Chain A
Amino acid sequence: MQEQKCYEDELRNESNYMPINQIKNGVGRMIPTEINGKPVIPFMGLGKHRPTGKIIGPSIPTCLDFPEDGDKTLPSLKEALLKAGLKDGMTISTHHHLRDGDLIANEVFKIASERGIKYLIWYPSASFPCHEPLIEYLENGTIHHIEGSMNGPLGRFTSRGKMKGVGILRSHGGRVQALKDGEVIIDIAVLAAPTCDMFGNSTGQHGPSACGVLGYAKADALFAEKVIIVTDNLVDFPCMPMEIEGNYVDYVVVVDKIGLPEKIISGTTQITKNPDRLQLAELTARFLLESGILKDKCFMQAGAGGTSLAIGDYVHQIFREKGWKIQVGFGGSTKYMVDMLKDGTMEHILDAQAFDLEAVRSIEENANHHHYPVFNAYNFHSKGNLNSMMDISILGATEVDVNFNGNVVTHSDGYLLHGIGGWQNCLHAKNVILPLPLVRHGIPVIRDEVTTVVGPGELIDVIVTQFGIAINPRRTDLLEKMKNSNLPIKTIEELKEEAERICGVQEKPKFTDKIVAAVKWVDGTVIDVVRQVEE
């Protein structure tokens, strides 16, 4: 099916890039009615789109087709890919738990390129600068387009209009939504596993390339037609704990190295020492406390960036002083969360990915540090949403606008540089707080209109900058609570004016008409598109 579509794409190259029909979607953005030869469902507003039907799964396997002794090992990745039926137009998935140390994705497409395979779709859960070599295979036609994230060099390549198809950007939750409702069918999942047995049972906790958890890879194991596990640490059966069950696995391949350990996990994540960011973190923590958002037994999501860690540290101090506990800490885990777990200020860590060695160790040592089935926790087609249970979600953005819309994928020069990650999903928390520098390298962060809408303003509650805090006017409750606060509560317009007073009004980037990527909302609709930057 998909294969067919891709051929059509190639044939109708031009009409694909410059679609005749464009319509205005629910956030006022002009989007094409067709992308990569498939019809587009425009974003209609929050909760409006509700796909029906059955959850889509892979073809029915039969155990008779698999070795009775359970030994699924094959001598090489190439052989496994051929046995899995690698051919033109297929969708190939990889996961990002090895982060910037991943050696496997590049290897897959090198093999495909050598075999002369074309029009592949790469479906990563995220991409990193280490995937820059894939540009060669995007250029020579091995890869038709990427559906996932386009970071750094891949983003720049895409923004220059060089990718053959249109890139699709999805959130972590959106990636699983697309698998569940059949929007995407993975033909072959190539899943790097730090430790695995001959049957395919896999864990991220041990081995020279240990990465902690494999939560994002789990979805691929369940939904892909063929599943190949690649490991550099084959252990005797059974590999426990098995985060990926061997019963979903077709082939196991052992290679010398799946990743570069120093790039998989940082030795230690570090709180920022930059006084401006510390100030921002402190202001955020004070706001959280004064507004009553921070309270005993709350659920909190926080990132592992320098500022987020600093906010976590301030929150930790507050909780220690008050004798409060965070009931659930969710997110990329770090030693700072582990410290909270140890001193009793955090009850549970639900771990989506481990960011440092301390966190990897903690998963094994602490009973309340859980690897959580993150792929199922917050996608649109699950029975409930872990994210909407969070009291606090602290997120970043490249830009926000006066309507509180947020952008995380492009910079204000128009270039695609980041993936969405879990950002859209985390917007569903009860209180979404974005601590941002008002000015980043001489460029204002608050604008009249974001370059790309990735998150609708309805879901972003508070923007904290060093110069003041803007509360979304929809949050009348928070405005009321902070009415008499000593904190610098401002309107978003005031913050924007301050930024422009400091650095002037910036010129807008120039785009061609060519659409290079589409941004999906968590429900599978298109919330915005990215156009080629005019150079």
Chain B
Amino acid sequence: MAKISTAGNYGKEIRSDCMATLELTKSGGLKIDLISKVKDYFGDQIISLAKEELKFFGIKNAKLKIEDQGALDFVIAARIEAAVKQLIETDQEYLLEIIPQNTDQTAKDRPRRSRLYLPGNTPKLALNAGIYKPDGIILDLEDSVAPDKKFEATILVRNTLRSVNFYGAERMVRINQLPQGLDDLDHIIPQHVNVILVPKCETTDQLKAANNKIAKIKKEKNLNYEVWLIPIIESALGVINSYQIACCENVVGLAIGLEDYTADLGTQRTAEGNESFFARSQIVNSARAAKVQSFDSVFSDVNDMEALKQNVLTSKSLGFDGMGCIHPRQIPVIHANFAPTEKEIEKAKQIVAAFQEAKEKGLGVVSLGSKMIDAPVVKRAQKVLELVSVGGNN
């Protein structure tokens, strides 16, 4: 193994992160060299954290340099752990206390209008993500993390799941493409994660593998909470298999990833989106058939809110329940435009009222004016009102 290891990021533009450089020595005890703008305020605390962590891993003699730009404890701990694990073999994990808010479970059919993607190895973005009130926050281990940073990212994401308050957003992790992604689960599943996103999903075998791995971890660690799955369909084959995929255990919805899908088709994404019309409709249809939710792809131009709005309205009209986003400013636009219109709300209220009245009167048939109303229509109306209570912009 190497003699000196480094983990994390440090530089003029980098905030809320640090770089740990570790060298094991033969003698001399633990030497911690802290370079930090916040040394005056938190220096002693950082140094004692570092010493405690090194001792936890059984390291008695080492030189550790921490170059810090305002990293919080869970980040510093993750960076040190990543540096340690490059030098010594250990299965131990240095875990900080999990905050109580991060142990709650989520319902299978909760609203998932927006899910905000965050690069898993960039701690600064995670700290404030919850205040934008997305329905879900995705800590990404896949495309947004460079291959040589994957290892330290899993440790950071693990710590983030324990320490950062997401203020009610569902805690999601996008693992790497399988089979690599199965290893990510070891770190992630024990942290009360709510949803795992499985990228480039094409067959039910992949979800079975994920489910088996999750069940194994849960059994070993005696975990008794649900971990939901959202497969991301990103290929022609995935689209064709989407119904079977949606029917897999623990799946709460299907997401579509259009960048890879259009590449697979050999075509380009356009503003009109004709090339993906079939796939999007197929995903919505498969999801509905399997009684799960469906989520549209992200809209990548973060500066064009008007185009985003049009995109959301199209998604909604196709039948999607939500879409991904890559910038917090997109969240209110997504929420506002997935929200039912006033006309839809009025109609829904009338239908639900008529349904209640029929129920109270013991009538078998619900009618509004001269029209008979079927059960699925009532259900849809109830869902509309549910979305209203979630709020448009919050």
B16 to A, closest residue via Cβ: A442
- The verdict on A289 contacting chain B, using a C-beta distance below 8 Å, is no
B167 to A, closest residue via Cβ: A467
Q: Tell me the complex Cα distance, A503–B127, Å.
A: 11
B41 to A, closest residue via Cβ: A506
Asked whether B42 lies within 8 Å of A442 as measured between CB atoms, the reply is yes
Asked whether A443 lies within 8 Å of B127 as measured between CB atoms, the reply is no
Asked whether A504 lies within 8 Å of B45 as measured between CB atoms, the reply is yes
* Binary flags per residue of A459-496, CB closer than 8 Å to B gives 1, else 0: 00000001100000000000000000010000000000
A486 cross-chain contacts in B, Cβ below 8 A: 391, 394
- The verdict on B131 contacting chain A, using a C-beta distance below 8 Å, is yes
Q: Tell me the complex Cα distance, A161–B132, Å.
A: 44
Asked whether B329 lies within 8 Å of A278 as measured between CB atoms, the reply is yes
A414 cross-chain contacts in B, Cβ below 8 A: 40
- Chain B nearest CB, measured from A67 CB (Å): 56
A280 to B, closest residue via Cβ: B131
A439 cross-chain contacts in B, Cβ below 8 A: 127
Asked whether B38 lies within 8 Å of A441 as measured between CB atoms, the reply is yes
Asked whether B71 lies within 8 Å of A442 as measured between CB atoms, the reply is yes
B72 cross-chain contacts in A, Cβ below 8 A: 442, 502-504
Which A residues between 417 and 456 are near B, CB-CB below 8 angstroms? 439, 441-443
Asked whether A276 lies within 8 Å of B329 as measured between CB atoms, the reply is no
* Binary flags per residue of B62-92, CB closer than 8 Å to A gives 1, else 0: 0000000111110000000000000000000
Which B residues between 14 and 65 are near A, CB-CB below 8 angstroms? 15-16, 37-38, 40-45
- The verdict on A275 contacting chain B, using a C-beta distance below 8 Å, is yes
B43 cross-chain contacts in A, Cβ below 8 A: 507
Interface residue tally for chain A (C-beta within 8 Å): 21
Asked whether B70 lies within 8 Å of A443 as measured between CB atoms, the reply is yes
Which B residues between 203 and 242 are near A, CB-CB below 8 angstroms? none
B132 cross-chain contacts in A, Cβ below 8 A: 275, 279
- The verdict on B328 contacting chain A, using a C-beta distance below 8 Å, is yes
- The verdict on A509 contacting chain B, using a C-beta distance below 8 Å, is yes
B45 cross-chain contacts in A, Cβ below 8 A: 504, 507
Asked whether B328 lies within 8 Å of A441 as measured between CB atoms, the reply is no
B16 cross-chain contacts in A, Cβ below 8 A: 442
A507 to B, closest residue via Cβ: B41
- The verdict on B144 contacting chain A, using a C-beta distance below 8 Å, is no
- Chain B nearest CB, measured from A275 CB (Å): 4
Q: Select which of B40, B131, B394 is within 8 A of A507 by beta carbon.
A: B40
- Chain B nearest CB, measured from A87 CB (Å): 42
A282 to B, closest residue via Cβ: B332
Asked whether B42 lies within 8 Å of A506 as measured between CB atoms, the reply is yes
Q: Select which of A412, A441, A467, A504 is within 8 A of B69 by beta carbon.
A: A441
Asked whether A442 lies within 8 Å of B128 as measured between CB atoms, the reply is no
Asked whether B131 lies within 8 Å of A412 as measured between CB atoms, the reply is no
Asked whether A276 lies within 8 Å of B128 as measured between CB atoms, the reply is yes
- Chain A nearest CB, measured from B22 CB (Å): 22
- The verdict on B349 contacting chain A, using a C-beta distance below 8 Å, is no
Q: Tell me the complex Cα distance, A467–B131, Å.
A: 6
- The verdict on B327 contacting chain A, using a C-beta distance below 8 Å, is yes
- Report the tally of A-B residue pairs with Cβ distances under 8 A: 60
A513 cross-chain contacts in B, Cβ below 8 A: none
- The verdict on A413 contacting chain B, using a C-beta distance below 8 Å, is yes
A507 cross-chain contacts in B, Cβ below 8 A: 40-45
Q: Tell me the complex Cα distance, A509–B41, Å.
A: 7
Which A residues between 484 and 530 are near B, CB-CB below 8 angstroms? 486, 501-504, 506-507, 509
Asked whether B37 lies within 8 Å of A412 as measured between CB atoms, the reply is no
- Chain B nearest CB, measured from A511 CB (Å): 12
Asked whether B15 lies within 8 Å of A504 as measured between CB atoms, the reply is no
Q: In the complex where A503-B42, A506-B42, A507-B42 touch, is A441 in contact with B329 (Cβ < 8 A)? A: no
Q: Tell me the complex Cα distance, A509–B38, Å.
A: 11
Asked whether B41 lies within 8 Å of A441 as measured between CB atoms, the reply is no
Q: Tell me the complex Cα distance, A507–B44, Å.
A: 8
Q: In the complex where A443-B38, A507-B40 touch, is A279 in contact with B131 (Cβ < 8 A)? A: yes
* Binary flags per residue of B264-294, CB closer than 8 Å to A gives 1, else 0: 0000000000000000000000000000000
Q: In the complex where A443-B70, A486-B394, A502-B72 touch, is A413 in contact with B329 (Cβ < 8 A)? A: no
B69 cross-chain contacts in A, Cβ below 8 A: 441-442
- Chain B nearest CB, measured from A224 CB (Å): 41
- Chain B nearest CB, measured from A260 CB (Å): 25
- Chain B nearest CB, measured from A193 CB (Å): 39
- Chain A nearest CB, measured from B233 CB (Å): 29
Asked whether A441 lies within 8 Å of B127 as measured between CB atoms, the reply is no
Q: Select which of B15, B41, B127, B394 is within 8 A of A502 by beta carbon.
A: B127
Q: Select which of B41, B73, B128 is within 8 A of A443 by beta carbon.
A: B41
Q: Tell me the complex Cα distance, A108–B41, Å.
A: 39
Q: Tell me the complex Cα distance, A466–B127, Å.
A: 11
B71 cross-chain contacts in A, Cβ below 8 A: 442
- Chain A nearest CB, measured from B117 CB (Å): 13
**Most chain B beta-carbon neighbours within 10 Å: one of A486, A502, A503:** A503
B68 to A, closest residue via Cβ: A442
A279 cross-chain contacts in B, Cβ below 8 A: 128, 131-132, 328
B164 to A, closest residue via Cβ: A502
- Chain B nearest CB, measured from A448 CB (Å): 13
- Chain B nearest CB, measured from A485 CB (Å): 12
Asked whether A413 lies within 8 Å of B131 as measured between CB atoms, the reply is no
Q: In the complex where A279-B328, A442-B16, A486-B394 touch, is A466 in contact with B42 (Cβ < 8 A)? A: no
Q: Tell me the complex Cα distance, A439–B70, Å.
A: 10
Q: Tell me the complex Cα distance, A509–B40, Å.
A: 7
Q: Tell me the complex Cα distance, A412–B38, Å.
A: 10
Asked whether A413 lies within 8 Å of B15 as measured between CB atoms, the reply is no
B332 to A, closest residue via Cβ: A282
A278 cross-chain contacts in B, Cβ below 8 A: 329
- Chain A nearest CB, measured from B76 CB (Å): 10
Q: Tell me the complex Cα distance, A279–B328, Å.
A: 9
**Most chain B beta-carbon neighbours within 10 Å: one of A275, A501, A509:** A275
Q: Tell me the complex Cα distance, A276–B328, Å.
A: 9
Q: Tell me the complex Cα distance, A276–B127, Å.
A: 10
Q: Tell me the complex Cα distance, A263–B217, Å.
A: 61
- Chain A nearest CB, measured from B47 CB (Å): 12
- Identify 4 new A-B residue pairs, CB closer than 8 A, beyond the known A275-B327, A442-B70, A507-B45: A442-B38, A504-B45, A507-B41, A507-B44
7 closest residue pairs by CB, A with B: A442-B70, A506-B41, A441-B70, A275-B328, A466-B131, A413-B40, A276-B128
| B interface residues (Cβ-Cβ under 8 A, vs A) | 15-16, 37-38, 40-45, 69-73, 99, 127-128, 131-132, 165, 327-329, 391, 394
What are 9 inter-chain pairs, A to B, with CB distance below 8 A?
A276-B131, A279-B128, A279-B131, A413-B40, A441-B15, A442-B70, A502-B165, A504-B42, A506-B41
